[in-house]
Amino acid sequence: MEHKKFIFILNHSFDKPDHAAGALQLATNMKAFDVELDFFLINEGALLAKKGFAETLTWQKKDGFSSVAQLLKTLIEDFDVKFYVCASCLKPYGLDASEFIKNAEPKPGSFLGQLLMERQSVSF
């Protein structure tokens, strides 16, 4: 199989936890095929970069599915996925990079633009 690269653009967290969980679950499934993928967290999705935030998302509607927190943990610990956080979202969402989860770092929108020229995108 041809080696493919993906960037997942995640716009949601507390506002649509099932969308966030769906994106993280799809990424976990894809990593089983050894594809290269990372996330760009933007808008409400940027909040997922804050330590402990994913654990607050307990109101997913789909019972029996993995939680956002468990999926994040798997992607980081088992697959070493990177989470780039929209730098413009830090101030509006009260984020501080010193409080980020492992593998998360702020990046400007121009970085996302660069990734989009090199990878296929998946948006949630």
Element (H, E) at 29: helix 17-31
Quickly count: other Cβ atoms within 10 Å of residue 54's Cβ: 24
Give the CATH number of domain 5-123. Answer: 3.40.1260.10
What is the arithmetic mean of pLDDT over 24-34?
Answer: 93
Q: Tokens for 98?
A: 């010193």
Considering the entire predicted model, what is its pTM?
A: 0.93
CB 60, CB 67: distance < 8 Å: yes
pLDDT, tens digit, for every residue of 48-80? Answer: 999 999 999 877 666 677 899 999 999 999 999
With tokens 């909040």, the residue in question is 47
Report the pLDDT value the prediction gives residue 34, as an integer from 0 to 100. 85
In this predicted structure, the answer to whether residue 25 has a pLDDT above a threshold of 80 is yes
Q: Which of 60, 76, 64, 77 is nearest to 17 (CA)?
A: 60
